[in-house]
Amino acid sequence: MRMRDPKFFEEHNARHFWHPMAHPAEMLKNPPIVVASAEGVEITDVNGHRTLDAVGGLWNVNLGYSCQPVKDAITGQLATLPYYSSFRGTSNAAAVELSYALTEWFSEDGLTRAFFTSGGSDSVETALRLSRQYHRIRGELDRTKFISIRQGYHGTHFGGASVNGNAKFRRNYEPMLPGCFHIPAPWTYRNPFNETDPARLAELCALLLEEEIKFQSPDTVAAFIMEPVLGSGGIIVPHESFMPKVREICDRYGVLLIADEVITAFGRTGAWTGSRLWGVKPDLACIAKGISNGYFPFGAAMISEKIANAFEDNKNAFGSIGHGYTYSGHPVGAAAALATLEETQKLNVADNAAARGDELLAGCKELQNKHQIVGDVRGKGLMVCLELVADRESKAPINKGAMDIALSAAYEAGVMIRVSGNNIILSPSLVITADHVATIITAVDSGLTAAAKA
Ligand SMILES: Cc1ncc(COP(=O)(O)O)c(C=O)c1O
């Protein structure tokens, strides 16, 4: 790339580049931080300011930015076979190897087939479609509806946005897919019942799921989709009884359970998968992000034996999959994923995520004691959220200006954090050390001090 004065990037960024999840006018007014390079778990911007990345890219650079085996796998595969289609009739060695490795990886979750995609939204779309098709194959033609959780995030395709639980991602794009319904999140800090006991709340939310299935008529419901730990909606950690209860209810009414594991699949919660964390076997799981350490856009819908058998035993036209992407099973992505899986296991990042996550959560709870603007702190593994409020009593969200100040002050103090609405979300690489955790806490402390003065 051409050598440029750093100002060039700030000046030109939003003139020609529209950003995801941003207002183009605001991007023109407030230029973003332009990241130029990265090493280990740190990033450096075009002005040479180096910070610890407490966002982990976008909860995907699980092994940090210097994972040489993944880089080597990508360049090696580029030299051997940079692309070939996996549409009916052709395949490639890397994708076959990866499907084998993934079914071993997910065997404890009962997931034995992989349908490859280019990312999380694609994986969600695939799981939603395959779940409808599963019922069709079995002659239950009316099972087309989906139920999901408010505050859930399932990407931005129309299917995913329709099961999404946040108006922000839906409002400007309505009407959404018909036949999608939502239940309240098992979120103790804010819920319609004012219920603060997590087990009781889990029971109430599960009851509402059952009520909704019955109300819709069970023979019209295809699937329930949930994140084992809700991520983008503000790290909502359900009580351990919730997902097992959901599994039971889905089984009782013949509804498929889709686990959206785009964030949780490769150790982030401290368990190897979010479903395993709660002792549940889903019918389908959506994976992406950490599968390739963020170095290549890649994902998959993982499929259980039950679903696989229905398709594979089917001899009529209903079983043929009329869905897929040009980049499904991309050999470079598959090679990146194979190397990532190997490193992920070798470094045992799930254990590190659990230990560092406990430290990070404890540190953030201390910050809650110190700063009145921290209304709630919650987390599991290396998914941690501080929810900022203007007033603890009313729980009114703090204003956007204060959030922007928190981000800038933390950045100046040496740590990149993510702000989403009135939440500070921390999702660093899973290879961080206890010292890194201490650095994150100190910088978030500075961010909160600055935001409180705003
Ligand atoms: C749980 C979940 N599902 C789906 C997605 C969408 O993934 P992508 O942005 O790769 O399309 C995300 C992205 O953050 C996610 O967190």
- DSSP secondary structure string, 40-106? TTEEEETT--EEEETTHHHHT-TT-S--HHHHHHHHHHHHH-S----STT---HHHHHHHHHHHHHT
C-alpha distances out from residue 270 to 231, 232, 263, 273, 337, Å: 14, 18, 12, 8, 20
Report the pLDDT value the prediction gives residue 2, as an integer from 0 to 100.
81
CA of 279 to the centre of ligand 1 (A): 23
In the beta sheet, which residues pair with residue 433? none
246 lines ligand 1 (CB under 6 A): no
- pLDDT tens, 208-219? 999 999 999 999
The pLDDT of residue 3 is 83
How many Å lie between the centroid of ligand 1 and the Cα of residue 22? 16
Ligand 1 pocket, residue 227 CB under 6 Å: yes
Q: Give the pLDDT confidence score for residue 29 in this predicted structure.
A: 92
Cβ(121) – ligand 1 distance below 6 Å: yes
155 lines ligand 1 (CB under 6 A): yes
Beta bridge partners of 53: 416
Q: What is the pLDDT of residue 326?
A: 97
pLDDT at 272: 98
The list of the chain residues with pLDDT below 50 reads none
From 59, 262, 269, 380, give the residue whose CB has the most ligand 1 atoms within 8 Å, as the site to mutate.
Answer: 262
Quick one: pLDDT at residue 10? 85
The pLDDT assigned to 335 comes to 98
